[in-house]
């Protein structure tokens, strides 16, 4: 398989083909996810919950993100690899530059992702000016759950307008892609329409440029309550590889997510 590039992702976006993304945290799963033709692998700080057993993503360190990104890139054959900047790694511009350099140069990530809107604009600009591809993240922000909790974001007009303004500002600052988490589908569609970059949804409806899910949710390995926006693809598949293949196909043909996965 040929390596997926940012140019290829932008081509998929321009041509209206949905972008399929999924998390992975080690070489074996990265191999299976990549082999399914996944466009994007996200090495998410969600590993703090699904791999390490924490209640939130906050305890995940930069060293751990570097370690897991290295493992993923050993198994990844062709997908574009995005690595999360963990909690407080983007507290300052200098911190974010150092963390991004480690994730890309030392661990082999193709892009970094950071959470937030107005606060991170100077960081996005600094990273983009240095040629570092950046993915934004708006809506539910897992690194801010101690303050804001796990709730759908943008349900009222004021908060919806603020999210739209932040999305446009992030694009102006230089992000190449945006993740929208737990945003009402109508708002997600509006943001997607207003932006000129791919918008990847998780719990944000179908009218976005693509979807991302946590690997463990796709395989029914979730500990505790499964998110409403997710789906266990292994229930109807004969193997792990078949389940991941089915997820890619469902994203590409638009059958996932459907109305049953709406969160707000």
Q: Where are the domains of the chain?
A: 6-261
Separation CA 142–CA 163 (nearest Å) = 16
In this structure, what token pair is assigned to residue 128? 């983009």
Q: Which of 142, 251, 153 is nearest to 206 (CA)?
A: 251
With beta carbons less than 8 A apart as the criterion, state whether 257 and 229 touch.
yes
Structure confidence at residue 151 (pLDDT): 87
In sequence order, the β-bridge partners of residue 23 are 42
Q: Is the pLDDT of residue 149 over 90?
A: no
pLDDT in tens, 158-200: 999 999 999 999 999 999 999 999 999 999 999 999 999 999 9
Structure confidence at residue 31 (pLDDT): 98
Question: What's the mean pLDDT when you consider all of the chain?
Answer: 96
With beta carbons less than 8 A apart as the criterion, state whether 168 and 121 touch.
no
- For domain 6-261, the CATH superfamily is Phosphoenolpyruvate-binding domains (3.20.20.60)
Structure confidence at residue 74 (pLDDT): 98
In sequence order, the β-bridge partners of residue 57 are none
Q: Is the pLDDT of residue 4 over 80?
A: yes
Structure confidence at residue 52 (pLDDT): 97
pLDDT in tens, 54-69: 999 999 999 999 999 9
* 3-class secondary structure, 21: strand
In this structure, what token pair is assigned to residue 222? 């979730």
With a pLDDT cut of 70, the percent of the chain lying above it is 100
Q: Which of 161, 199, 257 is nearest to 153 (CA)?
A: 161
For 96, phi and psi rounded to 5 degrees?
-65, -40
Residues identified as active-site: 181
Give the lowest-confidence range in 34-38, 49-53, 225-229.
Answer: 225-229
pLDDT in tens, 87-141: 999 999 999 999 999 999 999 999 999 999 999 999 999 999 999 999 999 999 9
In sequence order, the β-bridge partners of residue 112 are 83, 134
* 3-class secondary structure, 224: coil
Structure confidence at residue 223 (pLDDT): 87
pLDDT in tens, 34-49: 999 999 999 999 999 9
257: left (phi over 0), alpha (psi -120 to 50) or beta: beta
Structure confidence at residue 196 (pLDDT): 98
In sequence order, the β-bridge partners of residue 42 are 23, 82
Structure confidence at residue 226 (pLDDT): 86
């Amino acid at each position: 398989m040929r390596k997926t590039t940012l140019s290829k992702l932008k081509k998929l976006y321009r041509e209206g083909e949905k972008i399929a993304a999924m998390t992975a945290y080690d070489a074996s799963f990265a191999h299976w996810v990549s082999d399914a033709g996944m466009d994007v692998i996200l090495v998410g700080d969600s590993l703090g919950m699904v791999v390490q057993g924490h209640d939130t993503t906050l305890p995940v360190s930069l060293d751990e993100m570097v370690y897991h990104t290295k493992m993923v890139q050993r198994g990844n054959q062709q997908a574009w690899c995005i690595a999360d900047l963990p909690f407080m790694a983007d507290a300052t511009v200098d911190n974010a530059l150092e963390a991004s350099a480690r994730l890309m140069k030392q661990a082999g990530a193709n892009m970094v992702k950071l959470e937030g809107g107005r606060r991170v604009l100077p960081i996005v600009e600094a990273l983009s000016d240095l040629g570092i591809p950046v993915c934004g993240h708006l809506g539910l922000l897992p690194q801010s759950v101690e303050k804001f909790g796990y709730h759908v974001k943008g349900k009222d007009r004021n908060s919806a307008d603020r999210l739209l303004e932040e999305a446009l500002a992030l694009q102006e600052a230089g992000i190449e892609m945006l993740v929208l988490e737990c945003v009402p589908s109508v708002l997600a569609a509006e943001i997607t329409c207003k932006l000129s970059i791919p918008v990847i949804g998780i719990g944000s409806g179908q009218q976005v440029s693509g979807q991302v899910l946590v690997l463990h949710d796709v395989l029914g390995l979730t500990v505790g309550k499964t998110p409403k926006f997710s789906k266990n693809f292994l229930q109807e598949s004969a193997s792990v590889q078949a389940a991941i293949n089915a997820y890619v196909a469902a994203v590409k043909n638009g059958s996932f997510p459907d109305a049953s996965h709406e969160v707000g």
